[in-house]
Amino acid sequence: MTEDCDGEEKDEETRRWSPGQGGSSSSSSRGGGSGTSASSPFKNRCVRGRVDQPPPFSGQVLENVLENVLQFLPCRRDRNASSLVCRSWYRAEARTRLELFIGNCYAVSPARALGRFRCARALVLKGRPRFADFNLVPVGWGARFSPWVAAMAAAYPWLERVCLKRMTVSDADLALLARSFSSFRDLTLICCDGFGTPGLAAVAELCRNLRVLDLIENDVEDEDEEVVDWISRFPETDTRLESLSFECVNCPVNFAALEALVARSPSLRRLRVNQHVSVGQLRCLMVRAPQLTHLGSGSFETVPVADGAAELDVAELESSFVASKSLVCLSGFRMVAPEYLPAIYPVCAGLVSLNLSYAMTTAEQLKPVILRCHNLQTFWVLDTVGDEGLRAAAKTCKHLRELRVFPFEATEDSESAVSDAGLVAISEGCQKLRSILYFCQRMTNAAVVTMSKNCQDLVVFRLCIMGRHRPDHITGEPMDEGFGAIVMNCKKLTRLAVSGLLTDKVFEYIAKYGKLVRTLSVAFAGNSDLSLRYVLEGCHKLQKLEIRDSPFGDAGLLSGIHHYYNMRFLWMNSCKLSLRGCKEVAQRLPRLVVEVFGDQNKELDGDAVEKLYLYRSLVGPRDDVPSFVKIL
Q: Mean pLDDT in the chain?
A: 86
What per-residue confidence (pLDDT) applies to 600?
Answer: 66
Kindly tell me the sign of the dihedral angle through the C-alpha atoms of 502, 506, 510, 513.
Answer: negative
| Angle, in degrees to the nearest 10, between helices 445-454 and 420-429 | 10
Identity of the residue numbered 81: A
Tell me how far apart the terminal alpha carbons of the chain are, to the nearest angstrom.
27
- pLDDT of 40 > 60? The answer is no
pLDDT-wise least confident of 9-23, 184-198, 524-538, 567-581: 9-23
Residue 167, C-beta contacts closer than 8 angstroms, at least 6 positions apart: 105, 125, 126, 127, 128, 143, 144, 145, 189, 192
| Helical ranges in 404-548 per DSSP H | 420-429, 445-454, 480-489, 504-513, 529-538
Identify any residues that bridge with 613 across adjacent strands, giving them in sequence order.
Answer: 571, 595
- pLDDT of 144 > 90? The answer is yes
Residue that wins the pLDDT comparison between 271 and 62 = 271
* pLDDT tens column, 200-243: 999 999 999 999 999 999 988 777 678 899 999 999 998 999 99
Residue 263: band (very low, low, confident or very high) from pLDDT cuts 50, 70, 90? very high
Q: Are 210 and 185 in contact (CB under 8 A)?
A: yes
Backbone angles phi, psi at 610, to 5 degrees: -75, -45
What percentage of the chain reaches a pLDDT higher than 90?
68
Residue 80: band (very low, low, confident or very high) from pLDDT cuts 50, 70, 90? confident
CATH classification (class only), 98-228:
alpha beta
Rounded Cα gap, residues 213 and 203, in angstroms: 9
- pLDDT of 629 > 50? The answer is yes
What per-residue confidence (pLDDT) applies to 243?
Answer: 97
Rounded Cα gap, residues 571 and 573, in angstroms: 7
Kindly tell me the sign of the dihedral angle through the C-alpha atoms of 534, 538, 540, 546.
Answer: negative
- Tell me what the mean pLDDT of segment 373-384 comes to: 96
What percentage of the chain reaches a pLDDT higher than 70?
87
Kindly tell me the sign of the dihedral angle through the C-alpha atoms of 202, 204, 205, 210.
Answer: positive
- Tell me what the mean pLDDT of segment 156-176 comes to: 95
Identify any residues that bridge with 168 across adjacent strands, giving them in sequence order.
Answer: 144, 193
Kindly tell me the sign of the dihedral angle through the C-alpha atoms of 420, 421, 424, 429.
Answer: negative
- Tell me what the mean pLDDT of segment 449-463 comes to: 97
pLDDT-wise least confident of 94-103, 189-198, 407-416: 407-416
Identify any residues that bridge with 402 across adjacent strands, giving them in sequence order.
Answer: 378, 435
Residue 393: band (very low, low, confident or very high) from pLDDT cuts 50, 70, 90? very high
Rounded Cα gap, residues 586 and 118, in angstroms: 33
* pLDDT tens column, 460-489: 999 999 888 899 999 999 999 999 999 999
Rounded Cα gap, residues 492 and 495, in angstroms: 9
Across 269-300, b (16+ Cβ under 10 Å) vs e yields bbbbbbbbbbbbbbbbbbebbeebbbbbbbbb
What value, to the nearest 5°, has the Cα angle with vertex 410 and ends 296 and 188? 35
Closest CA to 382 of 402, 401, 362: 362
Q: Compute the residue count for the chain.
A: 632
- Tell me what the mean pLDDT of segment 321-342 comes to: 92
- pLDDT of 42 > 70? The answer is no
Residue that wins the pLDDT comparison between 238 and 411 = 238
What per-residue confidence (pLDDT) applies to 492?
Answer: 96
What per-residue confidence (pLDDT) applies to 601?
Answer: 62
CA distances from 214 to 191, 203, 378 (A): 11, 12, 19
Rounded Cα gap, residues 597 and 266, in angstroms: 50
